[in-house]
C-alpha cells in the first residue's frame, strides 16, 4: 500500500510540475528539488523516492526506469488530481519549487543541483541521503566540514546503502 501511495504521489507531483512544460532533465531536477525541500520540513520526501548520484545529476531511479509510463500516467491525471492526492503542505512545497526554479532550464538546474552539498559529498552511483537535504544551501562548507556531516550520519548512510543493494 505504501508503494502505491508513493507511486500516486510521484505522479501527482509530476502532474503539478508539468505546468512549466519541462523537458526530461528539468523534470528530474525539479522533482529532486521538491523532495529535498520537503525533507527538512516534513521529515520525509513527498514522492517516497530515493535519488542516486549520477554524472548527469541526482536521478530518481524508479522514474528513470519507467519514465515513459509514469509520464503518461501523470499526464492522464486531471489538473485537479494533485489537490486530492497531496496534502496542503506538500502542494505548497511543489508550488514553492515551481516559483523559485520553474523558470530555469535543465542546464541551469543541473548546475544548481551539482553544486549542492548532498550531491557533492555523495559517491558516484550511491544514494544521496535525504538527511543531507538540510545542508543543501551550505555552499561555504569546506570538504572537511562536509565530511564531518557525513561522519555524524554514517550509520544512517550505511543503512540506506545496504537497503539499496
**Cα 102–Cα 107–Cα 110 angle in degrees, nearest 5:** 85
pLDDT of residue 47: 95
**Cell digits for 23?**
523537458
72-92 per-position pLDDT tens digit:
999 999 999 999 999 999 999
What is the C-alpha R_g of the chain? Answer: 15
Secondary structure element (H or E) that encloses residue 59, with its range:
strand 57-60
Say what the pTM is: 0.82
The pLDDT of residue 69 is 96
pLDDT score for 19: 93
**Distance set, CA 157 to CA 62, 91, 165 (Å):** 20, 28, 13
Residue closest to 131 by CA, chosen among 152, 112, 100, 115: 152
- pLDDT for res 32: 97
- The answer to whether the beta carbons of residues 101 and 27 sit under 8 Å apart is no
Sign, CA torsion 86/6/43/121: negative
DSSP 73: H
Q: Which of the residues in the chain have pLDDT under 50? A: 1
Q: What percent of the chain has pLDDT over 90?
A: 71
Contact 113, 40 (CB under 8 A): no
Q: How many CB atoms lie within 10 A of CB 151?
A: 9
CA distance 159 to 44: 16
Amino acid at each position: 500500500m505504501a508503494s502505491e501511495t508513493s507511486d500516486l504521489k510521484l505522479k501527482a507531483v509530476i502532474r503539478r510540475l508539468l505546468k512549466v512544460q519541462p523537458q526530461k532533465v528539468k523534470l528530474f531536477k525539479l522533482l529532486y528539488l521538491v523532495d529535498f525541500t520537503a525533507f527538512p520540513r516534513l521529515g520525509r520526501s513527498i514522492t517516497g523516492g530515493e535519488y542516486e548520484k549520477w554524472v548527469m545529476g541526482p536521478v530518481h531511479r524508479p522514474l528513470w526506469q519507467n519514465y515513459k509510463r509514469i509520464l503518461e500516467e501523470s499526464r492522464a491525471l486531471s489538473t485537479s488530481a494533485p489537490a486530492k492526492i497531496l496534502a496542503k503542505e506538500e502542494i505548497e512545497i511543489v508550488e514553492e519549487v515551481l516559483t523559485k526554479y520553474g523558470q530555469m532550464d535543465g542546464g541551469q538546474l543541473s548546475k544548481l543541483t551539482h553544486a549542492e552539498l548532498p550531491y557533492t559529498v555523495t559517491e558516484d552511483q550511491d544514494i544521496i541521503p535525504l538527511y543531507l537535504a538540510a545542508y543543501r544551501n551550505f555552499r561555504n562548507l569546506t570538504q572537511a566540514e562536509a565530511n564531518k556531516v557525513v561522519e555524524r550520519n554514517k550509520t544512517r548512510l550505511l543503512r540506506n546503502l545496504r537497503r539499496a543493494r
